[in-house]
Every structure is written in C-alpha cells, then in structure tokens.
Amino acid sequence: MKTPLLAVLLSLSAVRAGAAVAAKPAEEPKAPQLEFPTPPEPTRIRWVRTVRSIDDLRGRKRGFLSKLSDAVLGGDSSAALFDRPYGVWVDARGRVLLPDTAQGAVHVLDLSARTDEKFTGEGAGALVSPSGAASDPAGNLYVADSGDASLKCFGPDRKFRWKTEALGGEGTFGRPAAAAWSPKGEVLVLDAGRRSVVALSPEGKFLREFLRGGKDEAALGMTANLWVDKEGSIYESDPVAGRIHIFSPDGKIKFGFGENGDRPGYMARPRGVATDSDGNVYVVDAVFNRVQIFNGQGKLLLYFAAPGARDGELSLPAGLFIDAADRIYLVDAGNARLQVFQYIKVPETAYK
C-alpha cells in the first residue's frame, strides 16, 4: 500500500507531466514551396509575387502606414481587388489585363508603377461580364464579353471603337470566353458556346470561323482557353477530353496530347495554356490546382504549385500568360488573385 507522501509525490509528478504535454508548442505549418523542382535539382520555376490587394500591388505589408492612409482616404487597401477573375493578358507596355466577370471590368495593372486602372467602358462599349482580353501592338484593347455575347474594341486611349456580335452569315456569338492577338494581324475569339474559334480583322470584320464543334474533323468537344504562340500556332485546352490541341495559323490540326487522369502527365480539367521562349507548353489544371509543363512533343517535364491559399498555392486556377521574359502570369481564381512566377533557363551542364 502506498504511503500518503508517496501518493502525493506521484500525483504531483503526473500533474507536471500533463502540464508539460499541454505546454508543448504546436508544430509550425510547413512553408509553401516557392521554387520548383525540389532541391538539389536546379530551380526551373520560381514564385515572384502575389497580387490580391492594393497593399500587394504597392509591395507593402499591412501596417501602421497603410492603416493611417486608409483612415485618411476612407478606403481599405487590404481588401481584395478582384471578385471573379478569369483571363489574363500582358500588353506591349508590360501592363497586365485582368478581366473580372463579376465586376464587369478589366483591371489594367502596371506592376512596375504599382497602379490599377479599373476599366468598365461606357455606353455601347459598357462591359457586362468580360472573361477574356487581348491587345495588339498598337495598343488597341479587345474584350470578349460573355455577358452580352460580343467582342468589344477600344483604342489605346480606351475610347470605344466597335462591337461585334454577328458572324457574317453564320449567326452570332454563343459565349465568347477568350481572345488573343495573332501574328497574322487578326483577333482570334474563342467561342465556348459554339465550340469554335472566330477570326476578325482589327476593324471587327468577320473573316472566318473554324474548329466548329460538330462540323470540323479536328473540332473540340469543349473549349476552355486559347493561346497563340509567336509563330501563330493556336493552342486550345479541352476540359472534357483532358487534352491540348495545337493548330496551324489557318486552323489545320498539327498535334495534340493529353488524356483524362489523376497522375502526373494526365489532365483532369485543363484551363489556361501558354508557351515559353523554349517552346515548352504550360497547362493549368483546375482540379489538381497545379501547372504542368510539357515539351513540344507532349512529354511531361515538370509540374508546380499545390492546393491552398498561401503564396505559390492555387485554388481553381484559370487564365495563363507568359511574356517575352518568361514571366508566368497565373489567375488564381478561387483565391481571387494574380500570381507571378518566373521560368529560369538552366544549361544542360547543370544536371551533370
């Protein structure tokens, strides 16, 4: 039988042990991965920045100065800039065009000047629910507006120029979802409603419609996003087939790759597609919240990002654009923000 003193000592020991367990600090969450692939492999993709709010755009953390500025100006610089962004384009001046379908606006972000112009148009050129935007070398802005099934054009001064709804003798747009400028001097519009691509002149004249669902041998089952490379080849993502189709500038099938699946190299719901200066093909997957990189023959090279809301993580990613400096602009739609990454060229000797 235990003595009263021994029982007290054992009781105190148990209390101390329990307190020690309770006081043990929780494990810190693992930091998000911002460089890909994992070391010691050479870095090929690096996260650069995230833009969600005015504070992000201005490169400052939420602190006394931003709170003071909000109090004086009556705003909230920590509030989200975007509601439902989808497409993305970078113009000749390096400004990011980010259509927001919920706001009925195209944000024109100058990341160097740290400014945001929220463009909504007016009158006949008022934006309803823009999902895609593009620009030509002269600075004209083309907006695919799914809200009223039109393509709208604005001059470099943002003055309304024209609006196209009719497609020659082929009816009207179904649901224009994306736009791109072609080196051929044409505006290409991805019409998700008709499952086709429409080519227009810079003046809005209907030129042709191709890849029409149900008509062309190479037509897509579903259309999601559009990209035109520097040679004029057209890339389209098909979220139903889990595939990327590549066409010549005149719409003839050249190549395609991908199939539905949940392993690396397969696709669940491909959205944005773009190419870098080495001809690698980047494909956004909205189900697995990652970006896969393939070579020109469709072989998987690398994938980056992961599900989440921290830097370098994604939720329902959508539009994608890669500029001439290999900066990767990615619409993180579920998190209502833009993320920027950088593709890094590595010599073959780095792997030896």
39, amino acid identity? P
Cα separation, 101 vs 99, in Å, equals 6
pLDDT of residue 69: 61
pLDDT of residue 307: 97
pLDDT of residue 214: 52
Helix (H), strand (E) counts: the chain: 3, 27
The 10s digit of each residue's pLDDT in 1-23 is: 444 444 433 443 444 445 444 55
Exposure on the CB side of residue 54, measured as CA atoms within 13 A: 13
Asked if 164 and 206 touch (Cβ cutoff 8 Å), the reply is: yes
| 124 φ, ψ (degrees, to nearest 5) | -65, -20
340, amino acid identity? V
Asked if 152 and 143 touch (Cβ cutoff 8 Å), the reply is: yes
Can you list the pairs that 243-248 forms with residues at least 24 positions away whose Cβ atoms lie under 8 Å? 243/267, 243/270, 244/270, 244/273, 244/281, 244/283, 244/294, 244/298, 245/218, 245/220, 247/211, 247/218
First vs last Cα of the chain: how many Å apart? Answer: 72
**Which candidate, 204, 120, 117, 125, places its Cα nearest to that of 160?**
125
Cα separation, 181 vs 177, in Å, equals 14
**Which domains, and CATH codes, for the chain?**
32-351 (2.120.10.30)
pLDDT of residue 224: 81
pLDDT of residue 348: 72
Cα separation, 190 vs 59, in Å, equals 35
pLDDT of residue 7: 46
The 10s digit of each residue's pLDDT in 139-168 is: 999 999 999 999 999 999 999 999 998 787
Cα-based angle 19, 24, 25 (whole degrees, multiple of 5): 140
Cα separation, 74 vs 243, in Å, equals 48
pTM higher than 0.85 for the full model?
Answer: yes
Q: Could you say which residues of the chain have pLDDT below 50?
A: 1-17, 19-21
